[in-house]
Amino acid sequence: MKTLLKSLKITLAFCVFFSVFYILILWIFAQVAGPNKGNAEVATLDGKVVGAANVGQMFTKDIYFWGRPSHAGDGYDAASSSGSNKGPTNEEYLSEVEARIDTFLVHHPYLQRKDVPAEMVTASASGLDPDITPASAYVQVKRVAQARGMDEAQVKTLVDNAVQKPLLGLFGTEKVNVLKLNIALEEANK
C-alpha cells in the first residue's frame, strides 16, 4: 500500500509537471526564440489581414497562383486537418487525381500531361500546406500573366523573389508561399 501511494504521488507530480510546466517552458521558448513570438504569421494587403501565412488558402481564379489541393474539411479547414487516407491504388483516389490533372490542363493548355507537377494534383497529408515548390509556381506563370495582362518576365520575377531557401541552406527544400506570392502579385498589379 505504501508503494501504491508513492506511485500515485509521483504520477500526479509528473502529470502536473508535463501538463503545466512543460507547456509553460515551450511557450516561454516560443516567445524568446520563435518567429513572430510563437504566433501565426499574418499576411496583410492594403493594411488588412488577408490570412495566416502558415495555413494554405483556396485560390481558384486564373489571376492567382494555386496551392496544393486540400482534403481538410471543405478545403484548408484547420479544424478538419487531415489527408484523404486513400492509397495510390485506390480507384476513387486515382479518378480524383485524373480529374485534377484534366482541370489543370484546361487552365494550362500550354502544358503536356507529363509536365503537370504531382503536388498540384495530389493533396498533402495535413491538407493545409501553404507552400508549393518553385517548379509548381513556374508552370503557372504563363496562365497568371495572361489572365492579368502582365508581362511573363515580370510575373516570373515575382516568383523568383518569393522563393524561400532552405533553413541555413541545409534544412528543408526551396518553397514558395502561395499567399505571399499572390499578395506580391496584387501589389505589383496596382
- Whether residues 31 and 79 share a domain: the answer is no
Residues 140 and 151 in one domain: yes
28 shares its domain with 78 = no
Please indicate, yes or no, whether residues 88 and 170 belong to a single structural domain of this protein. Answer: yes
Nearest alpha-carbon partner for 185 in 68, 59, 56: 59
For 22-45, give one letter per residue: b (16+ CB within 10 A) or e.
eeeeeeeeeeeeeeeeeeeeebee
DSSP tag of 67: -
Query: In sequence order, which residues have a C-beta less than 8 Å from that of residue 100 and are 6 or more positions away?
Result: 69, 120, 121, 122
My answer on whether 68 and 143 are in the same domain is: yes
Written as tens digits, the pLDDT of the chain (190 aa) is: 788 888 998 999 888 888 888 888 888 887 887 767 777 778 878 888 888 778 778 888 989 999 888 776 666 666 666 666 777 788 888 888 899 999 999 999 999 999 999 888 887 777 678 889 999 999 999 999 999 989 899 999 999 999 999 888 788 889 999 999 999 999 887 7
Residue range(s) defining the domain that contains residue 50: 40-189
| Same domain flag for 15 and 54 | no
Both 79 and 139 in one domain: the answer is yes
Q: Are residues 117 and 139 in the same domain?
A: yes
Residues 95 and 13 in one domain: no
Query: How many domains would you assign to the chain?
Result: 2
Interatomic CA distance for residues 178 and 85, integer angstroms: 24
140 and 95 in a common domain:
yes
pTM of the predicted model over 0.85: no
CA atoms of 188 and 76, how far apart (whole Å) = 26
Residue type, 11: T
